[in-house]
Structure 1
Amino acid sequence: MSVRIVALVGSLRAGSHNRQLAEAAVKLAPEGAEVELFEGLAEIPFYNEDIDVEGSVPAAAARLREAGAGADAFLLFSPEYNGTIPAVLKNAIDWLSRPYGAGAFTGKPVAVVGTAYGQFGGVWAQDEARKAVGIAGGKVLEDVKLSVPGSVERFAQTHPVDDAEVAEKLTEVLVQVSAAGRTAATA
Structure 2
Amino acid sequence: MLNIVLFGPPGAGKGTQSERLIEKFNLTHISTGDLFRKHLSEGTELGKLAQKFMDDGYLVPDEVVIGMVEDRIKQDDVVNGIIFDGFPRTVNQAEALDNLLQKNGEHISGMIALEVPHDELKKRLHARGKISGRADDQNEEKINNRIEVYLRETLPVSEFYRNQDKFYAVNGVGSIDSIFNSIVETIENLS
Regarding TM over 0.5, the answer is no
Q: What's the TM-score, normalizing by structure 2?
A: 0.41
User: Which has the higher Rg, Structure 1 or Structure 2?
Assistant: 2
Instruction: Say which structure is richer in strand.
Output: 1
* Bigger share in helix: 2
Determine which structure has greater relative contact order: mean sequence separation of CA pairs < 8 Å that are 6+ residues apart, divided by chain length: 2
